A and B are shown apart, each in its own frame.
Chain A
Amino acid sequence: MAVDGNLNMIGYGLAAIGPGIGIGLIFAAYINGVARQPEAQSRLQTIAILGFALAEALAIIGIALAFVL
């Protein structure tokens, strides 16, 4: 069996650390906010998901480039 690898994927793994930390921070802040003020959940949820989507975009662009380059 021949395992074909590509160094791009290691690069992508390294690049995914950043968005991973970012998403963690966003949801940590969201959970903190809801724990302090449960009635603000619906407002915070939209903001948290938006922030998550924006941070995730970096990881997503990374995986697109990992396949393309």
Chain B
Amino acid sequence: MSVNVLAATEDPYIPGPSSFDLPPIFGQGTIVTKPMVQIVLFAVLAFAFLYFASRKRALVPGRLQYVGEAGYGFVRNSLGRDIIGSHDFQKFVPYLVSMFFLLLFNNWAAAIPFIQFPTFSRAGLVYGLAAISWLVYNYVGIRKHGLGGYLKLQCMPSGVTGPILLLIVPLEFFSNIVVRPVTLALRLFCNMFAGHLLLILFAMGGYWLIFQSGVLGYVPVGILAWVLFTAIFFLELLIQFLQAYVFTLLNAMYIAGALADEH
């Protein structure tokens, strides 16, 4: 379907999924792209932040140490202790903290001028993270309950008996073992993807309306688009934080589910 709206002076840039196919950085033929550089860069930055925040360990914390401790305590208490339980959350704290800060730094990369690309709007990187999460929660579950016991825990809800099990067991297996990593990955990927696409749309739409359309009456609409762009940018900051939180929260929930004692 295409509709001729008006004759424009220039062809507009139309945002779409192809806006995320960035060319290789070092020219044709090489394979390193911007998201690949970003994930390494921000992993190093997240490490440096936590390292320098915890290096001095003064009794009266400085500014950096205070921020680091607040972030660490937030993940440790609200994600680790409250969800996995005070008995065995300790050994998962390093995993959860590194996961959270890797995600947070990479998501906020979308808000840094001249970088402005959410690393996890490329699905491949997110599938990698989800695969790590899948391996971790299945491993701890199988290690605690054994393979049979773990599958029973995940696939047979307690209190269900009789022929209904024929229906419940495949469904639970499908939902808890097969689909979980996919929805986990898709949630993060699509949030970053859709948010960034929305920002490109408002920015380029406003640019077209103001400078390229050639119609004076469109200029106020373009300015309105840019005002909305600014508002959505701040909403995105919140969503980027929230998605890092939700991803880590679900990781902790899956681990807690795999560790749960049978009822």
Contacts and interface: CB of A to CB of B under 8 A. Distances in A.
A26 interface: no
A53 B239 CA distance: 12
Given A1-B4, A46-B249, A56 B78 contact: no
B7 A50 contact: no
Interface string A20-36: 00000000000000000
Interface range, A side: 20 to 34
A3 B172 CA distance: 44
Contact of A5 (B1, B6, B194, B253): B1
B191 interface: yes
Contacts of B246: 49-50, 52-53
Contact of B3 (A3, A43, A50, A60): A3
Given A1-B12, A2-B2, A42-B78, A50 B249 contact: yes
A17 interface: no
A61 interface: yes
Nearest to A59: B190
B211 to A, nearest CB: 14
A42 B249 CA distance: 14
B139 interface: no
Contact of A4 (B8, B14, B190, B242): B14
Nearest to A53: B246
B187 A1 contact: no
Contacts of A60: 186-187, 190-191, 194
A37 interface: no
A57 B2 CA distance: 31
Nearest to A56: B187
Contacts of A2: 2-5
Given A3-B2, A6-B1, A53-B187, A63 B253 contact: no
Nearest to B12: A1
Interface string B190-218: 11011000000000000000000000000
B82 A1 contact: no
A1 B204 CA distance: 14
Given A42-B82, A53-B249, A1 B6 contact: yes
Shortest Cβ-Cβ A-B pairs, 3 listed = A60-B190, A1-B8, A2-B2
6 contacts: A49-B249, A53-B187, A53-B250, A61-B190, A63-B193, A64-B190
